[in-house]
Amino acid sequence: MSAYPHLFRTLDLGHVTLPNRVIMGSMHTGLEETGDWERLAEFYAERALGGVGLIVTGGFSPNPEGVLHESAAGLWDDSAIAGHRVVTDRVHACGGKIALQLLHAGRYAYSKGAVAPSAIKAPIAPYTPRALDAASVERQIADFASAARRAQAAGYDGVEIMGSEGYLLNQFLTRHTNHRRDAWGGSYANRMRLPVEIVRRVRETVGPNFIVIYRISLLDLVPEGSTWAEVVELAQAVEAAGASMLNTGIGWHEARIPTIAASVPRAAFAWVTAKLRPEVGLPVIASNRINTPEVAEAILAEGAADLVSMARPFLADSEFVEKAQTGRADEIVPCIACNQACLDHTFEGRIASCLVNPRAGHETELRYTRTREPKTVGVVGAGPAGLMAATVAAERGHAVTLFEASGEVGGQLNMARRIPGKEEFHGLVSSFERRARRAGVDLRLGVRADVDMLRGFDEVVIATGVAPRDPAIPSGSGANVVSYSDVLAGDAPVGQRVAIVGAGGIGFDVAEFLAHPGETPAPDRDAWLARWGIVDPEMAPGGLAGSGGEASEAERDISLFQRKASKLGRTLGKTTGWIQRLSLRRAGVRMRGGVTYDRVDAEGLHIKGPGGPELIPADTVVLCAGQEPVRGLADALTASGRRPHIIGGADMAVELDAKRAIDQGARLAAQL
């Protein structure tokens, strides 16, 4: 019997049967705008082959005014159908099913043509939208219906109508964004008319044999959000209007509450889906921070939902479902919810990929093909770059030996996993080690490789990583100056008053580590919800109590410094940096830029700021001033006449992160 019996039950929707209860949720990849339909088709085809029950595409606008940005993809023209056909044909040939998401951005559009129920600018968008007049509201309905007809003509198995996350349909629902006094505003019956009419007209257009998913916002997490009674009323109206399934969304994009970041406990919002399920007769889908088959199975087994939707886990591993089904769940490459290569890329206008799987979004170009000329490969350093290079090279058929001077694999990842909110890194390190061993990598832990040891290898890869940079701040007697690596390793005692030199990713991480030490590896869901002010939506509209979150008691008095005068934390991830900044601000961490460091003594850190010299009283000064490459072995090999491949931090320490290291390791190994 399957380890996940609920996950692998079929679902009969009348005209079609889904093979399991797993949906690949909508995720914009950026491939939609390239015009390279082959590449998009290949991306989805790999996921279809991996056994997912139903794929939902990234969002396509039903009309030009609904696009997320001026060059974003839409489906308002019949000429687009042929390209989509390439995708649907390929997915169907792989045995999969695929629905197209219709997304109208409303006031979230990064475009001067943005429209909305009322002319109220979103805090996360640059333009004030134009309020739609009544005739234009009617036209939105017709545009959704026409786009659904095109999706059907293009061979999709269904559409998902995006009604959550604060996009246009959601904007009509709440008084927060809908100040209209006509038939589309005022009473709730009026405010919900647009989404309900869209579902009705789409169903009329596509007929009964087509999946229509409506994505409903269960918790808006913004002021004046929908009440629970309104959510239930809408769900029932959408069901009556002909929806096949209800997907569930949590939090508007403008909400200042994390909903999918790594610090959000797994399945943190399944309880809200469970609350909706008995109110409707159609299948409901749970989403947000579901990243293992165990978590997904538990949601279904508890009766919280009929299906689960996962998006990012399918970037991390296209074979997620197949591995779970065939007793190989321990081979699933876990999504660590970092957003670094997926959502951060999307917001930067780049193709979405995955930190742990650089092939995601690059399927047609980065291929791990079996080698016809097996070589011996010596890799030095089992951090992310070395592990990835060794594993991919071994999977391709090379004989790989991986030397690691310490007693464990993981390198800098072993520091990341000690940070509160980054517990997912634990699973990543162990998954990396299992994958390397399975691929046949000869792992030599506790062995410091030298030139002689590497002599016999056909290829040598140096991934010796980085060492903390010493900014050489003069220190007098009694000064307690430590490096971040010693702090995170637990090797350096840290006092009550702390000054942190350097405010990059590691400075912020160390501040979080020292402010909230000992946070549990499996975060307590209820404590987390309370910390962010999230309550049962029956208690407060939108599920938001007060202003959303509270000050958290820090265990230490912490100050964070940088020399640049710019705002601290600018180099943090686009979609997660605000959470880190907010968390530290709430913990009372002081942040200052535009300083120079004079010296450290027993009293603390002496700096010069705009107001002149200052003493920052501190028991401990922690150096987080970036890193330098560790290249001793690489230089010695070069001096001996060899030409080693140098990757990761050993190659370039500036702005190194796990994403770049893993990508570089994978790309090198694909070519060896």
571 binds, among ligand SF4, ligand NAP, none (CB under 5 to 8 A by kind): ligand NAP
160 binds, among ligand NAP, ligand SF4, none (CB under 5 to 8 A by kind): none
- Measured from the CB atom, the residue of 499 and 656 that comes closer to ligand NAP is 656
Single-letter amino acid, residue 134: A
Contact call for residues 193 and 184 (beta carbons, < 8 A): yes
Distance, first Cα to last Cα, the chain: 41
> Please, which residue, 356 or 443, has the CB nearer to ligand SF4?
356
Cβ distance to ligand SF4 smaller for residue 356 or 625: 356
Residue 213 or residue 310: which is nearer to ligand SF4 going by CB? 310
Smallest separation, CB 560 to ligand NAP (Å): 9
* 345 vs 398, beta carbon nearer ligand NAP: 345
CA distance 320 to 105: 30
Burial code (b: 16+ CB inside 10 Å, e: under 16) for 483-519 equals bbbebbeeebebeebbbbbbbbbbbbbbbbbbbbeeb
Q: Which residue is nearest to ligand NAP (CB)?
A: 504
Stretch touching ligand NAP by CB under 6 A, among 30-38, 48-56, 387-395, 567-575: 567-575
Query: What is the rounded CA–CA span in Å between residue 69 and residue 11?
Result: 36
Q: How far is the CB of 313 from ligand SF4 (least distance, A)?
A: 7
Task: Return the DSSP state at 393.
Answer: H
Strand extents, DSSP E, 82-157? 98-102, 115-116, 130-131
By CB under 6 A, what part of segment 500-539 binds ligand NAP? 501-507, 509
Residue 415 Cβ vs ligand NAP, minimum distance, rounded to whole Å: 8
Distance CA 40, CA 44 (A): 6
Residues within window 620-659 making contact with ligand NAP, judged by CB under 6 A: 624-627, 655-657
Closer residue to ligand NAP (CB): 91 or 503: 503
Alpha carbon distance 415, 422 (integer Å): 10
C-alpha span between 385 and 665 (Å, rounded): 5
Closer residue to ligand SF4, CB minimum distance, 339 or 391: 339
| Residue 291 C-beta: closest distance to ligand NAP, Å | 18
339 is in the binding site of which of ligand SF4, ligand NAP, none (Cβ under 5 to 8 A by kind)?
ligand SF4
Question: Using the rule CB under 6 A, is 471 a contact of ligand NAP?
Answer: yes
Q: How far is the CB of 660 from ligand NAP (least distance, A)?
A: 8
Q: Which does 315 bind (CB under 5 to 8 A by kind): ligand NAP, ligand SF4, none?
A: ligand SF4
Nearest residue (CB) to ligand SF4, 337 versus 623: 337
When binding is defined by CB under 6 A, the residue of 258, 420, 543, 573 that contacts ligand NAP is: 573
Minimum CB–partner distance for residue 501 and ligand NAP (Å): 5
For the bound state, the minimum distance from the C-beta of residue 611 to ligand NAP, rounded and expressed in Å, comes to 18
Compute the distance between CA of residue 230 and CA of residue 218 in angstroms, rounded to an integer. 10
Token pair listed for 426: 């634990």
Q: Most distant CA pair in the chain: distance in Å? A: 82
d(CA 192, CA 183): 10
Pairing of strands 442-445, 612-617: unpaired
> What CA–CA distance (Å, rounded) separates 274 from 239?
17
Binding-site partner at residue 341 among ligand SF4, ligand NAP, none, CB < 5 to 8 Å by type: ligand SF4
Of 426, 420, 416, the C-alpha closest to 528 is 420
511 neighbors 500 (Cβ within 8 angstroms): yes
Q: Is 79 exposed, middle or buried (CB count within 10 Å of its CB: 0-12, 13-18, 19+)?
A: exposed
- Looking at the DSSP bridge assignments, the partners of residue 483 are 623
Q: What count of residues does the chain have? A: 672
Q: Does 360 bind ligand NAP (CB under 6 A)?
A: no
Among 88, 325, 562, 575, binds ligand NAP (CB under 6 A): 562
Q: Which does 336 bind (CB under 5 to 8 A by kind): ligand NAP, ligand SF4, none?
A: ligand SF4
Choose the contact partner of 56 out of ligand NAP, ligand SF4, none; CB within 5 to 8 A by kind. Answer: none
Output the smallest distance, CB 658 to ligand SF4, in A: 9
Kindly state whether residue 409 participates in binding ligand NAP, applying the rule CB under 6 A: no
Tell me which of ligand SF4, ligand NAP, none is bound by residue 506, counting a contact when its beta carbon lies within the kind-specific cut-off of 5 to 8 angstroms. ligand NAP
Kindly state the smallest distance separating residue 413's Cβ from ligand NAP, in Å: 11
Please report whether residue 465 would count as binding ligand NAP according to CB under 6 A: no
| Pick 184 or 425: Cβ nearer ligand NAP | 425
Q: Which residues pair with 646 in a beta bridge?
A: 462
Kindly identify the residues of this chain, within the stretch 475-504, that bind ligand NAP according to CB under 6 A: 501-504
C-alpha 450/C-alpha 460 separation (Å) is 11
CB of 511 to ligand NAP, least distance (A): 11
The two three-digit tokens of residue 494, written as one number = 């840290």
Q: Three-state DSSP class for 316?
A: helix
Between residues 409 and 672, which has the closer beta carbon with respect to ligand SF4? 409
Give the integer Cα–Cα distance in Å for 623 and 630. 18
Shortest CB 507 distance to ligand NAP, Å = 5
- How far is residue 615's CA from residue 316's CA, in Å, rounded to a whole number? 47
Q: 4, 108, 167, 597: which one is catalytic?
A: 167
Stretch (H or E) spanning 74: none
Please check whether residue 222 is in contact with residue 544, taking contact to mean a CB–CB distance below 8 angstroms. yes
Instruction: Give the range of 259-267, 355-363, 568-576, 661-669 binding ligand NAP by CB under 6 A.
Output: 568-576
* CB 87, CB 74: distance < 8 Å: no
Q: Least distance from C-beta 86 to ligand NAP, angstroms?
A: 35
Cα 543–Cα 544–Cα 545 angle in degrees, nearest 5: 120
Residue 567 contact, options ligand SF4, ligand NAP, none, Cβ 5-8 Å cut-off depending on partner type: none
User: Which of 541, 626 has the CB closer to ligand NAP?
Assistant: 626
Identify whether 167 is a catalytic site residue. Answer: yes
Closest CA to 386 of 651, 119, 580: 651
Contact range with ligand NAP by CB under 6 A, out of 192-200, 394-402, 550-558, 563-571: 563-571
Residues in touch with ligand SF4 (CB under 6 A): 312, 315-316, 335-342, 354-356
CA–CA dist 401, 101 (Å, integer):
46
Which does residue 249 bind out of ligand SF4, ligand NAP, none, counting CB within 5 to 8 angstroms by kind? none
Using the Cα atoms of residue 89, residue 92, residue 96 and residue 101 in order, give the sign of their dihedral. positive
Neighbours of 474 (CB within 10 A): 11
Cβ-proximal residues to 386 (8 Å cutoff; 6+ apart), any chain: 379, 380, 402, 404, 411, 461, 463, 647, 648, 665
Q: Which is nearer to ligand SF4, 129 or 361 (CB)?
A: 361
Taking CB under 6 A as the rule, does residue 563 contact ligand NAP? yes
* Pair 353, 342: CB distance under 8 Å: yes
Residue 461 binds which entry of ligand NAP, ligand SF4, none, CB below 5-8 Å type-dependent: none
Residues that bind ligand NAP (CB under 6 A): 340, 469, 471, 501-507, 509, 562-564, 571-573, 624-627, 655-657
Residues designated as active site: 167
